Amino acid sequence: MGDRDADSSADDRSPSSGDAAATGILRAFVEAVPTPTLACDPDTLAVRAANAPAADLVGHDRGTLTLMGLPDLGETDAAVSGEPIADVAGAASASGSPDSNGANAGVERFEWDLRLGDPGLRVDAAVHTATIAGSEWLVVGLSDATARVAAEAERDGERRLVDALANTVPLALFRCTEEGTLSRWNDRLAADSGYEPTSLSGRALTSLFDEATRDEVSEALSRVYRDGEAVSCEARLLTRSGERIPYRLSVGPVTDGDRVVGAVGVGEDLTEASLREERLAVLTRVLRHNFRNDLNVVTGFTGRAIEAVDDPDLVAELERVVDTAERLLRLGETSRKVERLLSQRPSPRPITLAPGVDAAFESLDQTLRARATVDVDVPEGLAVSAVAFLPEAISELVDNAIRHNDADDPRVRVSAAELPSESWVSLVVADDGPGIPPAERAVLTGEETPLDHASGLGLWYVNWIVTAGGGSLDIAESKAGGSRIELSLRAAEREPPEDGELFAPDEFGDGA
């Protein structure tokens, strides 16, 4: 009986010793893994071993972990997908027998929120079965996914915001890959082109335009990719139904360091604008042609009437008719210049100021020019950034200064100087005349009322030329009591080209 008790005691101790040995091997295996790892009982999901990285990640010491079940580690016992952790673990257990290396080929992967709130903790988990020390275990690998998920959520939020803004803008917006194919676009581009959004993906941007203008789009893209600069062009969008739509494209580079990796652009349907411009141009030409011809008839007949009558009072009245007709003719001429300026949409370029002033005087009516004494003080080499119509603005100011001065010897001074900031140049036209009427000034300050309109387009024309180059216009009283008009012009950032020519007034013709 004593022997039986001894044997029984030995039998009772034997399993305990075996379990301890197996547990030691399991813990040694888990400790050897450098990343956060747990080993669980596949039947109960109780945690049997955890390494130090796992304890640090989940925020429990290893002793506490071995008293917990796998589903107890998180604030929720379900994966982010909604599947219970127990079901995921069960799927890993049932996914097949371990291979020759002791690991099961089937791995269940899921995301799991171990801690909710701020700061939260989300992990990427991978569960598979492995045979260790002759027993099967669930091995759970963990990695911190919190930063990645937060970054993805931020990117998704930004993308949703960008998409919402893109679909709010009444223009077509798009992005092209490095190869010039569409990768993103808003609803407006799909609507303009007539293509289903899915069919635009991977389509070459140039393929959306007709053969006659496709090369212009291709050249614009080439400049963006080659030179890294923003480019605009006009082409005809070829819709899916075959309609050709006048279109303006503005495309710019997307860069990664010094390398252009794509392009972004804006497209605008010009159909309404083109029709409006065409109709206004026809209306303007017809009105101007009839206006000028009829006024020439008026001045011609009135001139003959002046020669035929002897009554001084009647002669004075007829001369006033001629003066009025000539003023209207000048108004028509200025409207022609305004139309030309608006249709050309010139861009600023470096212009040497002294030759520009000379060109302004050459375009003046020489009979008018001979009536006045004009002093010019414009330093040589002074260059500004302005549109090529600048000489016409200067000519308009000098013409007004002489024409509206009743003195026997009108005096006009044109001077220019670089301002202390070195970013601006001041060009001043001053005279000793009666000054500019308040109504004329009110046009440029926004104070004009419906009952007090300005009489001409001259100052408007000057202002539009100056502001088109990024400058400004200021009206004050001169020291002689007349008007002092100052043009603040941007200083040129580069030297004007040696072969650069100023705009010639007859370059585009009258068009009437």
Q: How far is CA 206 from each of CA 114, 274, 281, rounded to the nearest angstrom?
A: 51, 22, 31
pLDDT(363) > 70: yes
pLDDT, residue 447, reads 55
Of all residues in the chain, the percent with pLDDT exceeding 90 is: 43
The answer to which of 13-27, 168-182, 312-326, 428-442 has the lowest mean pLDDT is 13-27
Question: Length of the chain in residues, anyone?
Answer: 512
Residue-wise pLDDT for 438-488, tens only, equals 766 665 655 554 444 344 678 888 888 898 888 999 888 888 888 899 999
Confidence of residue 329 (pLDDT cuts 50, 70, 90): confident
Question: To the nearest whole number, what is the mean pLDDT of the chain?
Answer: 83
- Sign of torsion, CA 67 73 77 81? negative
Say whether pLDDT at 510 is over 60: no
By percentage, how much of the chain surpasses pLDDT 70? 85
Position 20 scores a pLDDT of 74
In terms of pLDDT, which residue wins out, 193 or 404?
Answer: 193
- Judge whether residue 313 has pLDDT over 80: yes
- pLDDT attached to residue 451: 41
Distance CA 253, CA 381 (A): 35
Question: What is the pLDDT confidence band of residue 197, given thresholds at 50, 70 and 90?
Answer: confident
Read off the pLDDT of each residue in 359-384 and give the average, rounded to a whole number. Answer: 90
Question: pLDDT value at position 507?
Answer: 43
CA–CA dist 358, 10 (Å, integer): 120
- Choice between 278 and 456, residue whose per-residue pLDDT is larger: 278
> Which of 97-106, 222-231, 359-368, 472-481 comes out lowest in average pLDDT?
97-106
Quote the pLDDT of residue 38: 95
pLDDT at 348: 87
* Top-confidence range, 294-298, 335-339, 388-392: 388-392
More confident: 348 or 98:
348
Q: What digits encode the pLDDT tens for the residues 149-176?
A: 888 888 888 878 777 776 777 789 999 9
| Bridge partners of residue 485, in order along the sequence | 429, 475
- Burial-class residue 63 by CB neighbours within 10 Å (0-12, 13-18, 19+): exposed
List the Cα angle 132/48/11 in 5-degree steps.
70
Averaged over 357-363, what is the pLDDT? 91
**Given a cut of 70, is residue 14 above it in pLDDT?**
no
Is 2-149 a domain of CATH 3.30.450.20? yes
pLDDT of 338 above 50:
yes
| 375 vs 478: CA distance, rounded Å | 14
* 32-61 pLDDT, tens digit each: 999 999 999 999 999 999 999 999 999 999
Residue 508: pLDDT band with limits 50, 70, 90: very low
Tokens of 284: 């303007």
Cβ–Cβ < 8 Å for 262, 232: no
Architecture of domain 346-512: 2-Layer Sandwich (3.30)
Tens digit of pLDDT for each residue in 236-258? Answer: 999 999 999 999 999 999 999 88
- Please give the C-alpha separations between residue 380 and each of 354, 383, 417, in angstroms, as whole numbers: 6, 9, 11
CATH of 169-269, one of 3.30.450.20, 3.30.360.10, 1.10.10.60, 3.40.190.10: 3.30.450.20
CA 121 – CA 247 distance, rounded (Å)? 51
The model's pTM: 0.48
> Cα separation of 435 and 419, whole Å?
25
**What span, in angstroms and rounded, lies between the C-alpha atoms of 176 and 162?**
16
**What would you report as the CA-atom Rg of the chain, rounded to the nearest whole angstrom?**
42
